Amino acid sequence: MKARMGVVLAIGCVGIGTILWQVGSASGDSGVVPSAVAIATSMPVLGGDGPTYVGSSKCKMCHIKQNKSWKKGKKAKALESLKPGHADDIKTKHGLDPGKDYTTDESCLACHTTGYGQAGGFAIPDPSDKKAVKRAKKLAGVGCESCHGPGSEYIKLHKEILKSKRKYKVEEMYAAGMFKIEESTCVTCHNDKNPTFEGFDFAAMKEQGAHDHFELKQREN
Ligand code: HEC
Ligand code: HEC
Ligand code: HEC
Ligand code: HEC
């Protein structure tokens, strides 16, 4: 396995906070858990070349069952909720305008799309740019990478594991940039910056908010 030196990528986040994303050495379990802290609305990327967002469709071919289950859930349609005529009661209850189209309101997109404002993540497309429109579709809603982390690097590892049929340890995944899913993964969005927030209980919501789970056959630990 290729040695990965400790890379620290800091994404500046104007006026709001900072995401500090850390990848440790690939050997052993030393500090390979990335931590995503603080978030909220607009998050311009100020530099660095760490993993980038690739979109949920890139995961689908190998994780068909998880994809199918996710598609049925609310997260896949989170951008739709920002359109007029969707969730009118909830909007009214929380002082939002049910007649307004919020799909281009930047203050909503960080939590209703995948990787908004980050490298490879969702960006509001120019309607005349077909490629950008297509790309935006793939990153609409709360996709796989919203919880599992930007996939450009770990996807290579998954491909290699699939091909070689070898066993792997989950730490390898984290070292390649996959997030370890903890409460902090969710509260980047499930917090009081969400205008409809009514609290968040990680233990109670963990199973319900993602997708059905299926056995991992090649994982060792
Ligand atoms: C990128 C932001 C984001 C992250 C990260 C996120 N969520 Fe959500 N979550 C949302 C949004 C937005 C909705 C509402 C979707 C809609 O209906 O428009 C939602 C809805 C939910 C719901 C209720 C609807 C449903 O699908 O049953 C649950 C439960 C939930 N999330 C749990 C979690 C858990 C657990 C995590 C962490 C493992 C998590 N979420 C991570 C943004 C996020
Ligand atoms: C900090 C993250 C965050 C921001 C910013 C945010 N939301 Fe959400 N939104 C969520 C989460 C998480 C949920 C899931 C339910 C919950 O916990 O309230 C949600 C749920 C909703 C729902 C209910 C969807 C349903 O069908 O149940 C609507 C409507 C909504 N948001 C609209 C908006 C609008 C409009 C904006 C911008 C003005 C916005 N949100 C900004 C995180 C956010
Ligand atoms: C709301 C967060 C969330 C989203 C969105 C999400 N996942 Fe997951 N995923 C989880 C959680 C939680 C687990 C359980 C493992 C854990 O606790 O680390 C998991 C586990 C998995 C596993 C391991 C096997 C299994 O079924 O448990 C695969 C593979 C996976 N997810 C793929 C995907 C793919 C592909 C998508 C997009 C179609 C996706 N996930 C979207 C939260 C999420
Ligand atoms: C070329 C196929 C392929 C692609 C594409 C792919 N994966 Fe995987 N992934 C795998 C294989 C193989 C495993 C190991 C499965 C097993 O042990 O049965 C895996 C494991 C996982 C796990 C479980 C890790 C663990 O041990 O807890 C998650 C989560 C996951 N993938 C998410 C994703 C996400 C998100 C994407 C898209 C960004 C993606 N994968 C793209 C093949 C792929």
| Whether the predicted pLDDT of 181 surpasses 90 | yes
List the alpha helices (DSSP H) in the chain: 57-60, 64-72, 88-93, 106-112, 130-138, 144-148, 154-164, 170-175, 183-186, 202-205
Kindly state whether residue 82 falls inside one of the protein's structural domains.
yes
- Chain mean pLDDT for the chain: 83
pLDDT digits (tens, 9 = 90+) for 72-99: 999 999 999 999 999 999 999 999 999 9
Residue 20 lies in a domain: yes
> What is the CATH number for 87?
1.10.1130.10
118 falls within a domain? yes
Number of domains in the chain: 1
Is 59 in contact with 70 (CB distance < 8 Å)? no
For residue 180, being part of any structural domain is answered with: yes
For residue 219, is it within any domain?
no
172 SS3 class = helix
Specify if 213 maps to a domain: no
**Is the CB of 142 inside a 6 Å radius of any atom of ligand 1?**
yes
Which position has the token pair 């979109």? 55
pLDDT level of residue 207 (50, 70, 90 thresholds): confident
Residue bearing the CA closest to ligand 4, atom 8: 158
12: domain range?
A: 7-205
Q: How far is the CA of 11 from the centre of ligand 4 (A)?
A: 26
pLDDT higher than threshold 80 for residue 41: no
Q: What are phi and psi of 113, to 5 degrees?
A: -135, 180
Q: Express each pLDDT in 116-151 by its tens digit.
A: 999 999 999 999 999 999 999 999 999 999 999 999
> What single-letter amino acid sits at 14?
V
Cα(59) to centroid(ligand 3), Å: 11
Backbone φ and ψ for 69, nearest 5 degrees, come out as -65, -45
Please report the pLDDT score of residue 20 as a whole number. 34
Asked whether residue 217 is assigned to any structural domain, the reply reads no
Q: Classify residue 16: in a domain, yes or no.
A: yes
